[in-house]
Amino acid sequence: MGLIAERYRSVRRNVADAADCVGRAAEDVRIVAVTKTVGVPEIRDAITVGMVDFGENRVQDFLAKYGLFPDVRWHFIGTLQSNKVKDVVGRAYLIHSVDSLRLLEKIASRADDAGVVQQVLLQVNVSGEESKHGFVPGDVEDALISASSMGNVEVRGLMTMAPFGRAEDARNVFRGLRELRETLGAIRANGVELEELSMGMSGDYRVAVEEGATIVRIGRSIFGK
């Protein structure tokens, strides 16, 4: 068994243990392998051991790897500039990082031109850090109202990034995103179903699963440093 296979199985065990602790099913958590700085052989090995979801945060790398491995699901997880929207829409299985209404409108317009429905997540700055992108939690409802009139974009859920530090320090951020989804679900947010919560990376994904993550974005714990 190679290193990537061993690490992937370890991540899966950790996800299962965290889910079991809170009465969730491990199958309800999708592991996205983050391929930032990862080469073609490592991606091929990850596919060989059964991984189907991969994430990239730079458009140039996203396009290159999508071209080499078009049969897996590619997620775009990085900051997306408006002038790069055309390169990602229709190729990304899911765009995690929609951090403004302007970007959402741009994606919807491009999707309309391309004749596709693009699935997205709204990035929420739960921690309030100036260095983090995303909607202020109080503005998410208005964004969902706007999204409900955009025929070529589907908001699947929410995403956030926790502050760097101890895993337990991230718990309040993850819990805040889950509670925001619950609040929006209670008022039905114009019929938008927020099924996905993308939160948690290599250092804190177990806490994220305990707090309700349906997608975790794992790089180092699968591919190494």
- Structural domains present in the chain: 3-223 (3.20.20.10)
Does the pLDDT of residue 43 top 80, yes or no? yes
Residue 64, φ and ψ in degrees, nearest 5: -65, -45
Distance CA 163, CA 183 (A): 23
Looking at residue 21, its pLDDT comes to: 96
Looking at residue 53, its pLDDT comes to: 98
Does the pLDDT of residue 128 top 80, yes or no? no
- 214, 193 Cβ separation under 8 angstroms: no
Looking at residue 188, its pLDDT comes to: 62
Model confidence at 104, pLDDT cuts 50, 70, 90, reads: very high
* Mean pLDDT within 181-203: 83
Distances 174 to 39, 117, 210, 213 between C-alpha atoms, Å: 31, 28, 9, 8
Model confidence at 189, pLDDT cuts 50, 70, 90, reads: low
Does the pLDDT of residue 147 top 80, yes or no? yes
R_g of the chain, CA atoms, integer Å = 17
